[in-house]
A and B are shown apart, each in its own frame.
Chain A
Amino acid sequence: MSVREVVVVDSGVANLGSVMAALARLDAPARLSTDPAVLRAAQRVILPGVGAAAPAMARLRERGLDAVIPTLTCPVLGICLGMQLLFEHTDEAGVDCLGVVPGRLRRFEEARCGRVPHMGWNRLEVLRDDPLVRGFGAQAYAYFVHSYHAEVGPHTLATCDYGGPFAAVVQHRNFFGAQFHPERSAAVGATLIRNFLGP
């Protein structure tokens, strides 16, 4: 098969349509599913997400996907809240997440960052030469909307600055995450998704 089908986890969140549209713009065949068998057979899986962590984790648990996603062996990309759910824990309502990427999410402090949520276009700084973040160019701006963030650590591929650096793109084993919205980040977003889909 020359073109890989992407399975987008049908997590019932509001940006599902936008993620599917972004894949369509790149001519990537995609389908929505919550079926564990479909996810296991997939060559690429995307976990989208906006909104609150607790209901999002609850929806994954209802479908048993909290047990399935950590065992996937194909490349998995979490977007925004989907990336946050890959971590161990978020301070947002004290929710335990999927635990595939070490670390926890903390809230931006208004005293240090100014306005929360962090909303708008901000600059990415690539730390590590990884295929996922190649071709961003020197002036890479991406669109962010979030109130919680992951600290920069060994799994950080790219950082962003909002009252201090935080992890904007992460990778651990076959799990990848983008804190920004690639589906709404113009050329930079398309580049990230294309990189994730692979040659």
Chain B
Amino acid sequence: MLTRRIIPCLDVRDGQVVKGVRFRDHVVMGGIEELALRYRDAGADELVFYDITASPEGRSADVAWVERLARHLDIPFCVAGGIRSVEQARRTLAAGADKISINSPALERPELIDELSTEFGVQCIVVGVDSSGPEGDWRVHQYTGDPSRSRELARPTLDWVAEAQRRGAGEIVLNCMGSDGVRRGYDIAQLKAVRAICRVPLIASGGAGAPEHFRDVFVEADVDGALAASVFHAGTISVPDLKQYLRAEGIAIRP
């Protein structure tokens, strides 16, 4: 049986892992490889590296650290941040990333999803969606990495998720902004609504604060993976303890 994935997300800035609350006030946490291998050893199923400086500054992720990671890491990893062309995607994938995740550039030019999936296959094209709003009326947000440019679009989240799949997204990461960083649990209602129209793997992001939140999002929203950052980085939840708990709750989890 396919297991549900536990995915720590690491924010990268200038070649180091940083953390911030609500996208502000970043503090350096350590080296990329060191933290990546620590999560690998702890049993993380996959890692996401988000170059938080890349997209707002209009440049794509520096590939030197991607190469170093690919050499050391023996679990899959995804690189997000500022990829806006087939050539930039090719560099990141050639450096050893298993997947690339695109967000704001796909909103600027949705054809980018078609181009990337045609060139590299749908399996390595992840579309990240930042979303918030009152229940049932969720809207997509763009440039959320930069507080001065971050904005809500008129585009309904469900429409965008459907379009992204039509264009060749192989996986959707839904970041529910209202719950992000506040640790009160994933936005189950929104994730359920997206799940209902999402035929490709769906990853929940934003809001994890306790092991029960992971159980709830797997059981109630039927997501394929759950992404979290601060609870893992702060040590509030350890990956091995979380996986043991979820297995005891009857959820398919890789030991």
Most buried by A among B2, B45, B71: B2
A185 to B73, CA, bound (A): 10
Can you give 18 A-B contacts (C-beta < 8 A)? A14-B120, A17-B70, A21-B70, A25-B71, A51-B120, A115-B199, A115-B201, A116-B199, A117-B170, A118-B2, A119-B170, A120-B2, A120-B3, A122-B2, A123-B3, A145-B76, A183-B74, A184-B76
Task: Type the 1/0 row for A17-53, where 1 means its CB is closer than 8 Å to any CB of B.
Answer: 1100110110000000000000000000000001110
Query: Which residue in chain A gives the minimum CB-CB distance to B89?
Result: A14
Given contacts A143-B75, A184-B76, contact A50 B254 (CB under 8 A): no
Q: Which residues of A contact B199 (CB under 8 A)?
A: 110, 115-116
A43 to B200, CA, bound (A): 40
What is the minimal beta-carbon distance from A53 to any residue of chain B, in angstroms?
A: 10
Q: Indicate if the CB atoms of B75 and A21 lie closer than 8 Å.
A: no
Q: Which residues of B contact A181 (CB under 8 A)?
A: 76, 98
Q: Indicate if the CB atoms of B98 and A21 lie closer than 8 Å.
A: no
Within A129-173, which residues are at the interface with B (CB < 8 Å)? 139, 141, 143, 145-147, 161-162
Q: Indicate if the CB atoms of A22 and B95 lie closer than 8 Å.
A: no
Q: Which residues of B contact A17 (CB under 8 A)?
A: 67, 70, 94-96
Q: Indicate if the CB atoms of B123 and A147 lie closer than 8 Å.
A: yes
Instruction: Check A67 for interface membership: any CB of B closer than 8 A.
Output: no
Within A177-192, which residues are at the interface with B (CB < 8 Å)? 181, 183-186, 189-190
Out of A14, A22, A117, A139, name the residue touching B200 (CB < 8 Å).
Answer: A117
Q: Indicate if the CB atoms of A186 and B170 lie closer than 8 Å.
A: no
Query: Which residue in chain B gives the minimum CB-CB distance to A16?
Result: B94
Query: Which residue in chain B gives the minimum CB-CB distance to A184?
Result: B76
Out of A18, A119, A189, A190, name the residue touching B224 (CB < 8 Å).
Answer: A119
Q: Indicate if the CB atoms of B3 and A121 lie closer than 8 Å.
A: yes
A145 to B124, CA, bound (A): 9
Chain B residues touching A, range: 20 to 34
Instruction: Check B5 for interface membership: any CB of A closer than 8 A.
Output: yes
Chain A residues touching B, range: 35 or more
Instruction: Check B255 for interface membership: any CB of A closer than 8 A.
Output: yes
A149 to B245, CA, bound (A): 32
Q: Which residues of A contact B3 (CB under 8 A)?
A: 120-123, 141
A161 to B225, CA, bound (A): 18
Q: Indicate if the CB atoms of A121 and B5 lie closer than 8 Å.
A: yes
By secondary structure, the B interface counts as: loop
Most buried by A among B5, B76, B201, B225: B76
Within B159-209, which residues are at the interface with A (CB < 8 Å)? 170-171, 199-201
Q: Indicate if the CB atoms of A119 and B40 lie closer than 8 Å.
A: no
Given contacts A185-B74, A186-B40, contact A121 B2 (CB under 8 A): yes
A110 to B201, CA, bound (A): 12
Q: Indicate if the CB atoms of B75 and A119 lie closer than 8 Å.
A: no
Instruction: Check A15 for interface membership: any CB of B closer than 8 A.
Output: yes
Can you name 13 extra interface pairs (CB under 8 A) apart from A115-B199, A146-B123? A119-B170, A119-B171, A120-B225, A121-B2, A141-B254, A145-B98, A145-B123, A147-B122, A147-B123, A162-B2, A181-B76, A181-B98, A190-B74
Q: Indicate if the CB atoms of A52 and B121 lie closer than 8 Å.
A: yes
A140 to B124, CA, bound (A): 24
Task: Type the 1/0 row for B201-232, where 1 means its CB is closer than 8 Å to any CB of A.
Answer: 10000000000000000000000110000000
A50 to B90, CA, bound (A): 13
Task: Type the 1/0 row for B118-155, where 1 means its CB is closer than 8 Å to any CB of A.
Answer: 00111110000000000000000000000000000000
Query: Which residue in chain B gives the minimum CB-CB distance to A22?
Result: B74
